[in-house]
Structure 1
Amino acid sequence: MPADKEDVSVNASPIEILVKPEVSGVKNEQLIQTRRAQICDAALELFLEKGIASTTIRDICARSGVNQASIYDYIENKNDILRRLLNQLWFRPDVPTLPERLEAFGDADFEDILTSYFRDTWRIKRKGTLLAYRSIPHLQSDDRKAMRAHDTRLITLLARHLRERTGLPADDKRPEIVANLIIFLTAFGPMRDWVQRDIDEELMAGTIAAGVTAMLEHLKAQGEPPST
């Protein structure tokens, strides 16, 4: 299957690493889901407009239409809303990670896989990316640890694929450096779109993918790192 196939759900696995508290003030499950969706949609808009610290529960109630007296029947607090949004938008299962794509399309051109990955994550996970980076100072300690553990695991898996492609030895740390850079570049489109809105998305994704591919080709040709 070509790497730029529109179906991006291949090998995607649901990841919900931020623990959500049980809130059971209402027994009607359909009503719970409807109200939580209203609350989370309103909170996301406000978090991205005003910032997380500046957004109050009162603001969220006013934007969502959910009464302030009943909102705690559906969520525990603002941190609970943030967790639910990150699970929904940042850890969303319909956008495979780069290691998952490399596993599924290993024989495809690496640059094509990268281009598809950047395009899909920038386009589909844009709000999740913006929220994730803005939320770090506001996360609870356990949530911050879980986010770090998730990224560490992702970098480790990606570095393993890069090491296989370059033939670099296990004690060479350069694949981890490049893997970390790729994860950082995943946020490049959404975080910098305020200065590059006039640049074609496909051109930008292809250019960055070409740069990363050239970097790996250089490491592969260089072989063992020069001694220091």
Structure 2
Amino acid sequence: MPADRKPGDKKAFDGEQLVEATVDGVQDTALTETRRNQICDAALELFLQKGFDSTTIRDICASSGVNQASIYDYIANKNDILRRLLNKLWFRPDVPTLAERLEQHTDTSFKDNVAGYFRDTWSKKRKGTLLIYRSVPYLQEEDRRAMRARDQAVIQALAAQLRKKARLHEQDRRAEVLANMIVFLGAFAPMRDWLHQDIDDELILNTVTAGVAAMLNQLAETGPSAD
């Protein structure tokens, strides 16, 4: 079995994605890609249905059609599968953060940028959101640190944009609170599917977006914090 990264490996995160194990048991890159996709697709559904801890490599092999004797030619272990899934579903380059949207679309209103952010996050990252929230207890410690570091960077970048929008001073921590809330709301629709299945998606989107815009307006109206 190929060796996975050692606990505490400082290269758990390359600045863009979690670092996946190097597995080169098969030289045919096309075949490797096909088999990894089969394995990851099967594992995703099992992780969401049964949970990460309750899913075995045997389960993944049975569901993916990849022989148990050869699966380690394509992945290192179950945690390696999880990293690959998070890279594919959570660290998606085609779903920009709200801070990136605000930088890229300066002619678009704040409210419309927020709506676009939630629309993409709630749809394209839906399964990734469910996966991350259900698998956090089982992440390797270095992966947990990497995920936390990335979230903190995302929040700080968004807070800086919010301060500009609301004309707040650089030390106003309320911008960080609002940024954290917006990131948290990025998980609202996927995590609450079981409660609002009878509510129109656009109604949910418009309501949450209006709330975020109102919070920013309130900060702008009250001015810089005295703290």
- Both proteins in one fold, TM over 0.5: yes
User: C-alpha offsets along residues 83-129 of structure 1, whole Å, 9 cap, x if unaligned?
Assistant: 00000000011111111110111221111111111111101110011
User: C-alpha offsets along residues 50-76 of structure 1, whole Å, 9 cap, x if unaligned?
Assistant: 000000000000000000011001000
Q: Tell me, yes or no, if the aligned pair for 1:156 and 1:176 is still in contact at 8 Å.
A: yes
Cα distance in 2 between the residues matched to 1:15 and 1:42: 27
Q: Does 1:156 align with 2:129?
A: no
> Deviation at 1:16?
3.9
Report SS of the residue matched to 2:165: helix
Cα distance in 2 between the residues matched to 1:188 and 1:148: 19
1:10-25 correspondence to structure 2 within 5 Å: 16-25=16-25
Structure 2 unaligned residues grouped into runs of 5+: 1-13
Structure 1 residues 15, 62: closer, same or farther in 2, change over 3 A? Answer: farther
Between the aligned residues of both structures, percent identity stands at 62
Question: 107-116 or 78-87, which moves further after superposition?
Answer: 107-116
Report SS of the residue matched to 1:168: coil
> Deviation at 1:226?
5.2
Q: Tell me, yes or no, if the aligned pair for 2:167 and 2:224 is still in contact at 8 Å.
A: no
Cα distance in 2 between the residues matched to 1:108 and 1:24: 46
1:116-195 correspondence to structure 2 within 5 Å: 116-195=116-195
Report SS of the residue matched to 2:178: helix
| Other-structure match for 1:29 | 29
| Other-structure match for 1:111 | 111
Q: TM-score, normalised by structure 1?
A: 0.91
> Deviation at 1:134?
1.2
Cα distance in 1 between the residues matched to 2:93 and 2:104: 15
| Other-structure match for 1:51 | 51
1:51-70 correspondence to structure 2 within 5 Å: 51-70=51-70
Cα distance in 2 between the residues matched to 1:100 and 1:206: 21
- Following TM superposition, the consecutive aligned residue runs of length 4 or more in structure 1 with deviations greater than 6 angstroms are none
> Deviation at 1:181?
0.3
Cα distance in 1 between the residues matched to 2:225 and 2:160: 17
Q: Tell me, yes or no, if the aligned pair for 2:25 and 2:74 is still in contact at 8 Å.
A: yes
Aligned residues: 214
Structure 1 unaligned residues grouped into runs of 5+: 1-13
1:198-217 correspondence to structure 2 within 5 Å: 198-217=198-217
Cα distance in 2 between the residues matched to 1:16 and 1:32: 23
Q: TM-score, normalised by structure 2?
A: 0.91
Cα distance in 1 between the residues matched to 2:95 and 2:150: 15
Instruction: State the structure with bigger RCO (CA 8 A, min sep 6), 1 or 2.
Output: 1
Question: Considering only aligned residues, what root-mean-square deviation do their CA atoms show, in Å?
Answer: 1.3
* Amino acid aligned to 1:213: A
Question: 112-121 or 180-189, which moves further after superposition?
Answer: 112-121
